[in-house]
Structure 1
Amino acid sequence: MEFETHYITPDIKLSEFNGKYFKTEVVFEHHILVWFISGETKIIQADAVYTFNAGDIFLIPRNQLATVINYPKDGKPHKAVAMYLTKDRLKDFYSKNKPTAKSQPLQKVYRFTKHPLLESCFASLIYYFEIGENLPEDIANLKIEEAVRILRSTDSSVDGVLANFEEPGKINLSDFMERNFMFNMTLEKFAYLTGRSLATYRRDFKKIYNTTPQKWLTEKRLKLAHYSILEKQKRPVDVYIEVGFENLSHFSYAFKNYFGYGPNALATGIK
């Protein structure tokens, strides 16, 4: 099997992937803390690209658009343990522990490379995955609280993220879409992240762009792909993922239909 996921609690899982690569575009409902055992992950956001390898530990804040691409590496599978830090659990924690940092926007991905305390916290869970047993609830609660306490002691600014329980408010739709159009998310997700119902999102979008979201998104992604191939000398096989297309054949068809020549023709200078 190429992809397997094992849970020892609803909030703690071990995933293993042995295929060529696995790509997904997500908005995490909860903060997620990840420990890499092997393989490589690339996380693409509007303003940054992060690459993580074996031994890295990172925290992805909730409600952030991201393209996640997982690869096996050095003959080993992509393997990682992930811990979800849910709002309910964090609200309970911070009702007893005062935050040391002010609430801040949930934007950056936090990296904790080869952190011995976090590694020890995660490594202690491996036994339960190996024997295939669920982690007792009281121990699971202690392990997640241990991870949160280590995060706070390592980087005091993390409190400003973990203790921020606000939901997305209505924001400037144009600014958001111009920064995030390359993420292949549903219109419902785009609407939610801009603080709108789907009907209001469609109506506001029409007022700004005088077209449909689907048409605008396709054109923006194709134009970005054209620029990346022509100006940055990127290969079409690499570009289509980065600009939000699901597969190469659909990308090539849409590209040729829009520009009158295919992406490979542009890459080789034969049009």
Structure 2
Amino acid sequence: MDIKLQDYFRATDEHNTLVLNDLIYAEYRSYLGPTQHKLWSEDHFMVFVIQGIKKIITTDQQYTIQPGEGLFLKKGSFVMSEIPDQDDCYKSLLLFTSDQYLCDFFKELQHLFPSDPQNQIIHTSVPFTVDHQLQSLLQAISDISTQAHSSKEKEIAKLRVKELLIHILDVKSNHTLRECLQALTIKNNEVQLKEVMESNFTANIALKDFAQLAGMSLSKFKRHFESFYQTSPGKWLLHKRLQHAQRLLNSTDMNISEIAFHCGFQNLSHFSKVFKQHTGFSPTEFQKEDLL
């Protein structure tokens, strides 16, 4: 199963982590060589790279993030890898924000960020500008996070995070991010369902986790899913994953194991078995014959 980021940071003392109700701030360090992980997040989040290089793959985009750069990721699944710098260290800061936090944020600050429905487009990922002032704000949050034990200190940390978000969204070049975050506060069951499934069908997570990403109970999710797609979630996911696998087999240099991993199959043998059942060919035969 894919790793849930929130559970990872809550369960470890290895990284400096600050949990503030609908916010989580985390400092991640790695001294390993280049590593690759399949992850998912129940909250939207921003990644700020400090040392090394971060590579992120979503279903439709690939990013390489250098030190001093930032990327917003809509809640969902992705493949991440990090490459340490010359000092054998990778470091990034992560800020997780729930749907409710964003709703409250824009409601409180609508005089600063008025909503424009015509320009609200949801993106699964958005790069954004990290200037010197933002770097200073990140350092301030980092300093506070190491000592935020009392209620007073945690409230100060929340104010710092709010200041950070206001600054990010006030930078003119970050208008796409601002419009995306505002669009995420608009609730529509069918739109949310479609976005979650089309963006995350390669995630190796339980059905209840897909329901959580869509903001629904499991029973409500199944009901809306079958009404919208006219099939069961399990059948739809298998069909989408096999379609994606066929595209990767014919358009990339990935080996069969990598394709099984990226498409959300439990293991190579399971992938090979269901692939042959549905196409009549093994993945290797399909790749050699270029049958798409």
> TM-score, normalized by length of structure 2?
0.69
- Equivalent residue for 2:80, pick from 41, 44, 69: 69
What is the Cα deviation at residue 220 of structure 1?
2.4
Q: What corresponds to 1:137 in structure 2?
A: 154
Q: What corresponds to 1:83 in structure 2?
A: 95
> TM-score, normalized by length of structure 1?
0.74
What is the Cα deviation at residue 241 of structure 1?
3.2
Local SS of the residue matching 2:248? helix
What is the Cα deviation at residue 36 of structure 1?
0.8
> What are the residue-to-residue correspondences of 1:223-262 with 2, within 5 Å?
223-262=243-282
What one-letter code is carried by the residue in structure 1 that aligns with 2:128? F
Matched, 1:170 2:189: yes
- Equivalent residue for 1:198, pick from 203, 218, 231: 218
Q: Which moved more, 1:143-152 or 1:86-95?
A: 86-95
Q: Distance in 2 between matches of 1:23 and 1:174?
A: 22
**Cα pair 2:55 2:63 within 8 Å, conserved:** yes
- Equivalent residue for 2:126, pick from 105, 110, 115: 110
**Cα pair 1:168 1:195 within 8 Å, conserved:** no
- Equivalent residue for 2:38, pick from 20, 23, 26: 23
Local SS of the residue matching 2:39? strand
Q: Which moved more, 1:138-147 or 1:103-112?
A: 103-112
Gap runs ≥5 in structure 2: 1-11
What is the Cα deviation at residue 151 of structure 1?
0.9
Local SS of the residue matching 1:171? helix
Identity %: 24
Shift of the 38–258 alpha-carbon distance from structure 1 to 2, 3 Å rule, reads farther
Q: Distance in 1 between matches of 2:228 and 2:183?
A: 31
Bigger proportion of residues as helix: 2
What is the Cα deviation at residue 257 of structure 1?
4.7
**Cα pair 1:39 1:79 within 8 Å, conserved:** yes
Local SS of the residue matching 2:38? strand
Shift of the 211–83 alpha-carbon distance from structure 1 to 2, 3 Å rule, reads closer
Matched, 1:36 2:56: no
What one-letter code is carried by the residue in structure 2 that aligns with 1:239? I
Q: What corresponds to 2:69 in structure 1?
A: 56
Q: What corresponds to 1:6 in structure 2?
A: 16
Gap runs ≥5 in structure 1: none
Shift of the 229–191 alpha-carbon distance from structure 1 to 2, 3 Å rule, reads same
Q: What corresponds to 2:170 in structure 1?
A: 153
Q: What corresponds to 1:215 in structure 2?
A: 235
Local SS of the residue matching 2:189? coil
